[in-house]
Amino acid sequence: MLLTMEKILFLKSVPIFSGMTGEELMVLAEIVEEIEIKEGETVFRENDPGEDLFVIVRGKVNIIRSEGTPSEAIIAMLEERECFGEMSILDDEPRSATVRTAADTLLLKIQQDEFRELIREEPDVAFKVFRVFTRRLRNAQPEPELQQAPIQGSV
């Protein structure tokens, strides 16, 4: 079990929380729940209701789309200090993928309601997290192909 100070230091090293102040991290450290999951277990399934964000303290997880179908694919493997389930903190949509552990894994779980309460008390937290999310979205966008303008005939 992690001590509060260990949680604060760890959370500060996680990109989506790195811009938070010590006080904000203290509040966050108090609301996280530690969860240990054995290798090969499912954290949640695609289309499950989503209410929690998870941060990997140690271990690995696979992000899987279309689980159990012929088109099943591992679309990402996440490791220490990476998070998943972050979209469910912001919206009430179902999970967009299945997450299964690829090793024994220790997670910090942040429940949607508690995170939203933190944002109500410390609105700057939302902007710090949104900044990281938008950076991720921008980096995930494929580069537009350069289109060559048609060459006009000479006059």
Domain-embedded: residue 11: yes
Q: Which range marks the domain in which residue 98 is found?
A: 4-133
In this structure, are residues 89 and 110 in contact, taking their beta carbons and an 8 Å threshold? Answer: yes
**146 occurs within a structural domain:** no
Tokens of 140: 């995930």
The per-residue pLDDT for 89 is 78
> 10 Å Cβ neighbour count for 82?
16
pLDDT-based confidence at 154, cuts 50/70/90? Answer: very low
Strand 73-78 versus strand 42-44 pairing type: unpaired
Interior angle at CA 32, CA 14 and CA 28, nearest 5: 65
Mean pLDDT of 113-132: 85
CA dist 64 and 72 (Å) reads 7
Domain assignment of residue 86, yes or no: yes
pTM: 0.82
pLDDT band at 41 (very low <50, low <70, confident <90, very high): very high
| Total domains in the fold of the chain | 1
Say what the pLDDT of residue 148 is: 52
Q: What is the pLDDT of residues 45-68, one digit of tens each?
A: 999 998 899 999 999 999 999 888
Q: Is residue 116 part of a domain?
A: yes
d(CA 55, CA 70): 29
**3-state SS record for the chain:** CCCHHHHHHHHHCCHHHCCCCHHHHHHHHHHCEEEEECCCCEEECCCCECCEEEEEEECCEEEEECCCCCCCEEEEEECCCCEECHHHHHCCCECCCEEEECCCEEEEEEEHHHHHHHHHHCHHHHHHHHHHHHHHHHHHCCCCCCCCCCCCCCC
More confident site: 138 or 74: 74
Distance CA 6, CA 28 (A): 12
Is residue 145 situated within a structural domain?
Answer: no
Question: Residue 50 belongs to a domain with what CATH number?
Answer: 2.60.120.10
> Considering the domain boundaries, does residue 8 fall inside one?
yes
Among candidates 38, 3, 21, 11, which has minimal Cα distance to 109? 11
Q: Is residue 120 part of a domain?
A: yes
